[in-house]
């Protein structure tokens, strides 16, 4: 399986970016793994409620990791337009759901993206789609934030990009330390957002208002 | 087997457990079929009898077949205190309870192998730094999310049942709950509010939260969870009535499938006076929704 994938920023991306054929074999393999897990946990995989759970759980996990099979260029789909606009554009509170790569437990929250166009603007929903590509993977919040920033930067070559991610980690909320109200915030500032204090302030004020 | 074991009950027996005759002093609303009129003496449970009669007869006389899988929620590998080598279990953070050893060396490594295979089926590289110990961590996390199978009601209650002449409503609300959807193995979480009207006996308040923990840390369906909590409180203190409301967010619906992020699922179980007397029920609902 490793030949088909190239490593980009520590994550494996399918070389064609095409959705990999969900071989019946790999789905069945995953379902068998889940069946074993159910048995080990002490449940009876043959009872009515659990009969098809291995298949459902396998499909769910594949959905939660579908970002591996998506390419940014496909997702943006050419929605880059020339526009004489050099003020900040912000799309805030984009909800995302990702999987903690350490415990395989979800973490979810909001992403706010801001950028200063350099005569090129991006279709707004494409920012949300970029978030989807990188969140539907086994992730670490820090890496996800950086990947989103780099993707926007590469696609548009803007004057600056700012990303703020605020998330609640179920691995911390429902197990371990069990701190329910805790939130983790990460941010990445590129270009003007990093060098110019006023730009950064404006972004924070607008995105967190 | 303890007569307390609500987890041993299947759907029919759970339904029998919430039969109205199991509640002392609940107001008998004449049922539409009118059968109750003469048989009132037989039907009103005398408070001195242990609860629940039907269940006792059902459970105690039943001989379990070898196929212990017939009972939902029965652990296949009974993890008990006598399992050697598990005196120091770091799994449970309940210091008051005896450590219920839930991790066994083979369990973790078996599950970790399954998780490792899952990771490679996804196309990830299980040997990269971030994923190196993920199979073990994920296995431990899953065992933690299903630790309710190891816990029994008697142990959780720990004898915290007191005689008190109090017959007004007692309510513990907004108990946070984290459970696992048994259909997709994805978490669902929410708040549980429990109210009961004591009949000579009250329960330690944290024990209500512990009851929630036992039944929520399993592969569950929200409907069954609500009912099991209600039946457990009934069995513990034999009150005049019990009400349980659960408001849950199901990640299987929020992060996949229909993707309805604001949706909440509400289920409730009303037993005894809460079922018969609309005013009591209304008082409970008002208190649940008050700030």
pLDDT per residue over A17-60, tens digit each? 434 455 678 899 999 999 999 998 888 999 999 999 999 999 99
Residue A199 has pLDDT above 90, yes or no: yes
Q: How many Cα atoms within 13 Å fall on the side-chain side of residue A131?
A: 23
Please tell me the predicted confidence (pLDDT) of residue B21.
Answer: 61
Closest to B241 (Cα-Cα) out of B289, B206, B195: B195
Residue A12 has pLDDT above 90, yes or no: no
Phi then psi for residue A103, to 5 deg, are: -125, -5
State the burial class of residue B90 (Cβ atoms within 10 Å of its Cβ: 0-12, 13-18, 19+). exposed
Cβ proximity of B136 and B60 under 8 Å: no
Please tell me whether residues A63 and A154 are part of one structural domain.
no
CATH number for the domain that contains residue A107: 3.30.1130.10
To 10 degrees, what angle do helices B105-121 and A24-41 make? 160
B176 included as an active-site residue: no
Residue B102 has pLDDT above 60, yes or no: no
Residue A3 has pLDDT above 60, yes or no: no
Chain B residues inside the 8 Å CB shell of A41: 111, 142-143, 146, 149, 219
Please tell me whether residues A93 and A183 are part of one structural domain.
yes
Please tell me whether residues A80 and A60 are part of one structural domain.
no
CA distances from B285 to A30, A95, B229, B243, B291 (A): 44, 32, 17, 9, 12
**B261 has a chain A CB within 8 A of its CB:** yes
User: What residues make up the domain containing A64?
Assistant: 5-69
- By Cβ distance, the residue of B111, B115, B219 closest to A50 is B219
**A102 has a chain B CB within 8 A of its CB:** yes
CATH number for the domain that contains residue A10: 1.10.286.10
Closest chain A CA to residue B110? A40
B166 included as an active-site residue: no
How confident is the model over B206-252, as pLDDT tens digits? 999 999 999 999 999 999 999 999 999 999 999 999 999 999 999 99
Domain end residue (candidates: A51, A69, A87)? A69
Closest to A34 (Cα-Cα) out of A13, A62, A2: A62
**B132 has a chain A CB within 8 A of its CB:** no
Please tell me the predicted confidence (pLDDT) of residue B4.
Answer: 57
Please tell me whether residues A58 and A79 are part of one structural domain.
no
Question: Concatenated DSSP letters for A80-123?
Answer: EEE----S-EEEEEEEEEEEETTTS-EEEEEEEEEEE-SSEEE-
Please tell me whether residues A123 and A192 are part of one structural domain.
yes
Our CA angle for A181, B214, B262, nearest 5°, is 40
Could you tell me where the beta strands, DSSP code E, fall in B113-240? 161-163, 170-181, 187-197, 201-203, 219-220
B122 to chain A, minimum CA–CA distance in Å?
7
Chain A interface, best mutation among B114, B119, B122, by max A CB count within 10 A = B122
Chain B residues inside the 8 Å CB shell of A140: 130
Question: What distance in Å separates the CA atoms of residue A110 and residue A94, rounded to the nearest whole number?
Answer: 5
Cβ proximity of A149 and A120 under 8 Å: no
Mean pLDDT of A84-100: 95
Cβ proximity of B284 and B169 under 8 Å: yes
Please tell me whether residues A17 and A94 are part of one structural domain.
no
pLDDT tier at A138 (50, 70, 90 boundaries)?
Answer: very high
Please tell me whether residues A81 and A178 are part of one structural domain.
yes
Mean pLDDT of B174-203: 95
Which residue in the list B87, B176, B182, B282 is annotated as catalytic? Answer: B182
Cβ proximity of B272 and B241 under 8 Å: yes
Please tell me the predicted confidence (pLDDT) of residue B11.
Answer: 73
Mean pLDDT of B142-164: 89
Question: What distance in Å separates the CA atoms of residue A140 and residue B142, rounded to the nearest whole number?
Answer: 19
Closest chain B CA to residue A45? B69
Closest chain B CA to residue A61? B122
Please tell me whether residues A16 and A90 are part of one structural domain.
no
Mean pLDDT of B273-288: 95
B238 to chain A, minimum CA–CA distance in Å?
30
Please tell me whether residues A96 and A140 are part of one structural domain.
yes
Please give the residue that has the higher pLDDT: either B27 or A104: A104
Binary contact (A101, B122; C-beta < 8 A): no
Please tell me whether residues A103 and A178 are part of one structural domain.
yes
**B3 has a chain A CB within 8 A of its CB:** no
B146 to chain A, minimum CA–CA distance in Å?
7
Domain count, chain A: 2
Please tell me whether residues A9 and A61 are part of one structural domain.
yes
Mean pLDDT of B197-211: 94
pTM of the model: 0.77
Domain end residue (candidates: A39, A69, A99)? A69
Tally helices (H) and strands (E) across chain A.
8, 9
Mean pLDDT for all residues in chain A: 88
Mean pLDDT of B137-151: 90
Domain end residue (candidates: A69, A87, A103)? A69
**B260 has a chain A CB within 8 A of its CB:** no
Mean pLDDT of B14-42: 54
- By Cβ distance, the residue of B125, B142, B221 closest to A37 is B142
Lowest mean pLDDT among A106-115, A189-198, B39-48, B254-263: B39-48
A1 to chain B, minimum CA–CA distance in Å?
7
Residue A160 has pLDDT above 70, yes or no: yes
Cβ proximity of A172 and A179 under 8 Å: yes
Please tell me whether residues A175 and A198 are part of one structural domain.
yes
Please tell me the predicted confidence (pLDDT) of residue B22.
Answer: 65
Closest to B172 (Cα-Cα) out of B214, B218, B203, B216: B203
Lowest mean pLDDT among B86-90, B146-150, B155-159: B86-90
Length of chain A: 209
Tokens representing B264? 């909440």
């Amino acid at each position: 399986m490793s030949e088909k994938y190239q490593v980009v920023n520590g994550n494996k991306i399918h070389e064609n970016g095409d959705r990999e054929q969900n071989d019946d074999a790999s789905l069945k393999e995953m379902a068998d793994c889940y069946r074993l897990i159910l048995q080990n946990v002490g449940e009876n995989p043959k009872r009515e409620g659990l009969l098809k759970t291995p298949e459902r759980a396998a499909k769910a996990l594949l959905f939660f990791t579908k970002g591996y099979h998506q390419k940014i260029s496909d997702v943006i789909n050419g929605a880059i337009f020339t526009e004489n606009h050099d003020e900040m554009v912000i799309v805030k509170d984009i909800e995302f759901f990702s999987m903690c790569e350490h415990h395989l437990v979800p973490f979810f929250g909001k992403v706010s993206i801001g950028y200063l166009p350099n005569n090129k603007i991006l279709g707004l929903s494409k920012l949300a789609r970029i978030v989807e590509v990188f969140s539907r993977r086994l992730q670490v919040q820090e890496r996800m934030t950086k990947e989103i920033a780099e993707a926007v930067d590469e696609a548009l070559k803007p004057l600056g990009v700012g990303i703020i991610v605020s998330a609640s980690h179920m691995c911390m909320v429902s197990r371990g330390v069990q701190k329910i109200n805790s939130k983790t915030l990460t941010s990445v500032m590129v270009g003007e957002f990093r060098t110019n204090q006023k730009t950064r302030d404006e972004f924070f004020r607008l995105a967190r208002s | 087997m303890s007569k307390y074991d609500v987890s041993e009950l299947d759907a029919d027996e759970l339904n029998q457990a919430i039969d109205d005759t199991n509640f002392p002093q609940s107001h008998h609303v004449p049922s539409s079929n009118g059968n109750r009129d003469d048989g009132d003496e037989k039907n009103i449970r005398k408070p001195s009898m242990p609860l629940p009669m039907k269940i006792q007869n059902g459970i105690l006389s039943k001989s379990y077949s070898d196929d212990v899988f017939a009972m939902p929620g029965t652990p296949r590998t009974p993890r008990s205190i006598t399992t050697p080598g598990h005196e120091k279990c770091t799994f449970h953070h309940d210091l008051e309870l005896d450590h219920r050893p839930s991790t066994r060396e083979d369990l973790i490594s078996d599950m970790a192998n399954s998780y490792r295979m899952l990771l490679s089926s996804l196309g990830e590289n299980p040997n990269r730094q971030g994923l190196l110990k993920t199979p073990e961590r994920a296995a431990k996390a899953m065992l933690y999310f299903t630790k309710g199978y190891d816990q029994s009601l008697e142990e959780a209650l720990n004898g915290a049942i007191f005689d008190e002449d109090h017959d007004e409503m007692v309510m513990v609300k907004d108990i946070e709950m984290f459970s696992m959807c048994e259909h997709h193995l994805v978490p669902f979480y929410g708040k549980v509010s429990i109210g009961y009207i004591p009949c000579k006996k009250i329960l330690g308040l944290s024990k209500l939260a512990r009851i929630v923990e036992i039944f929520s840390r399993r592969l569950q369906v929200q409907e069954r969870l609500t009912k099991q909590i209600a039946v457990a409180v009934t069995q513990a203190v034999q009150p005049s009535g019990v009400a349980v409301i659960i408001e849950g967010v199901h990640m299987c619906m929020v992060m996949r499938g229909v993707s309805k992020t604001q949706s909440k699922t509400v289920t409730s179980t009303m037993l005894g006076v809460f079922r018969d007397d609309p005013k009591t029920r209304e008082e409970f609902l008002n208190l649940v929704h008050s700030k």
